[in-house]
């Protein structure tokens, strides 16, 4: 993890990106916190607009308290830096915390 590559920089159509610290390897994750909680219907991924970087596979977990996490959903990511890939949950999931591995 690097401050310059924090979750706040992981927005659709952005030239910036979240980046895991390589010392954490495949176990690295980013966490988003939604203070009042929300219902999540799915996840959209997109590559880094100004660089040939994108996620090819990822797992998402949800939590309402930050300690107990849902089972993980593993999805195929992107094939390029421009396309947006949307994965819908079978039913919306309430959460205050979202982790993407």
Q: Tokens 């990106």 sit at which residue?
A: 17
Residue-number span of the structural domain to which 87 is assigned: 3-100
Instruction: Map residue 101 onto helix, strand or coil.
Output: coil
| Mean per-residue pLDDT of the chain | 88
What residues are paired with 17 via a beta bridge?
none
Domain count, the chain: 1
Q: Is the pLDDT of residue 66 over 90?
A: yes
56 alpha-carbon distance from chain centroid: 12
Average pLDDT, integer, range 31-52: 92
CATH number, position 29: 2.60.120.260
Asked whether the beta carbons of 93 and 61 are under 8 A apart, the reply is no
Count other Cβ atoms within 10 Å, centred on residue 59: 13
Per-residue pLDDT tens over the stretch 4-38: 456 777 888 888 887 777 777 777 889 999 989 99
Percent of the chain with pLDDT strictly greater than 70: 92
């Amino acid at each position: 993890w690097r401050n310059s590559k924090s979750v706040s920089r992981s927005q659709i159509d952005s030239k910036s990106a979240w980046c895991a610290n390589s010392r954490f390897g495949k176990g690295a994750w980013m966490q988003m916190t939604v203070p009042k909680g929300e219902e999540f219907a799915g996840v959209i991924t997109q590559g880094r607009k100004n660089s040939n970087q994108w996620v090819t596979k990822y797992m998402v977990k949800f939590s309402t308290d930050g300690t107990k996490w849902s089972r993980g959903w593993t999805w195929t990511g992107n094939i390029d830096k421009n396309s947006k890939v949307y994965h819908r949950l079978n039913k919306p999931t309430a959460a205050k915390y979202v982790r993407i591995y």
